[in-house]
Structure 1
């Protein structure tokens, strides 16, 4: 087991991110500011201070991009997990860009389903999306808006047609990506240097929690398009180059009890507290948690990211499943810190 840290951006991931961000930029920034404000910090100030490079990157790409608005209906999707499902089919299978015509519809549906099962820790088979009726039944069980289900139905019914349009969008915008990259190459170099030092250090607590019980090699790939995010797929972590910087900025704004405040905020959510109580009995994988608490796999995944980040839960990959354990040391440290503050 080890960590492989890449020092370059992934162009396909970046292009998906740049198209998505430029398509919804003002709404995304407003939502980020609001979320930071809800955490008790000045969201507008933090974004203004830290997003200059990303802002130039996205706006330069927007200037050069070539987009047919009729072909990008998933780039305005406000459910980021569904957008990433669509994107990771190509990100994880880049050879499809040149070989899509060489596989059958069923083979391609299997690839899409493999990505779905990995992202949402589900166990659906090809039969669940083999016919239009099966697709409708499959979508009926998902906790999504009707408009999103309709979009997915169009794709799953004729996936090669949609992905050919998507591949064309990627190919048409390679020049826009190159132009955007050129204007941020110098500041990005410094960001990447600091990013690599951070990931290599023992201060990267979220990665420490993730790799603790993981026997597989982990790859960490920097991203600027999603510069403040952390996304995992098949032991590959796309970590925003500003991820730690903004986290520390938020903690600093909250004062010397910043980390404690974030942990208390996590436990103020009923579902997260129920997950902690459930894991007290023993380790569980995502679907077990979802069924026990009547949550969707996507909702469980969202909650677990927060609990892992707060050092309350650790992750173990075993027999193709992700198991979650209580981080007893992390919880004890949290209780000791709370005890020292209150008593």
Structure 2
């Protein structure tokens, strides 16, 4: 009887030990981790697997956190910055550990959420943190206006001063605010367009990548004139002059009627004669106060086809050489119709009023 009792007691102890072992196994976790092959992990053990780590809880590995790229241990919902982005240790909808991109950090200090914008240090461009599937992307949004108060999107235009600007992406990928048109009296002109304003003609020119308003000609009575073109106004010949540093309507000549009544253009400084059978009136074209005037230089008395004597305008003389056996009065009359007159000596009082006597010059 005693032996039987001992055997029964031993069987009871073994059964209890087996039950305890089974219960303990159910409370432990079976998994590889911490650089070891699969094994049982006790309740509360921390198990590192790759870029994530877990805790053994009631026989299951529960997700607790991640490892950063520098192997820093992170808890759930902690974040770190890498390669310009803020990354969160998170759970997906299946309760699995993942790395979730939650913001942009261009300098590793400032952090921006999706849709937020910021500017570069020189305030030339602005950037936006944008979603790109499960990732994020830092993208140039556009340019800043010249006064640094507004954001302009890529391809958008705005007016500043006398020019229209567009925020453009160049062929090499750079972003630049480029002038693409001219503004004159609140009217917009594209590169290559011309327009008149008052006495001049302007052109919207692209010069070294920048728009420029330049004068390319003149305007006279609805007619467009370019450098070197001429026109007549108030007996003055004007020439349209366009130079890199100046432009204008330049007086260059006089409008003169010749002996036949035809109009002739005489350039400034030119000398010519108005002739009759018995006289020549020498004239020149001079520039006075941005206009040209015809000035009489003198009169030449012609006798038998020869230039006999010369008189200045407003003077007279007595020609004592025989002409039909008599002395002869000769006067050079100035004014709107300059001319040489001859008269009898007996008429000298009436013919020389306002004139000055002068010695005759051969």
- Give TM-score scaled by structure 1 length: 0.17
Greater strand share, structure number: 2
Higher CA-based Rg: 2
Higher relative contact order (CA 8 A, sep 6+): 1
Greater helix share, structure number: 1
- Give TM-score scaled by structure 2 length: 0.16
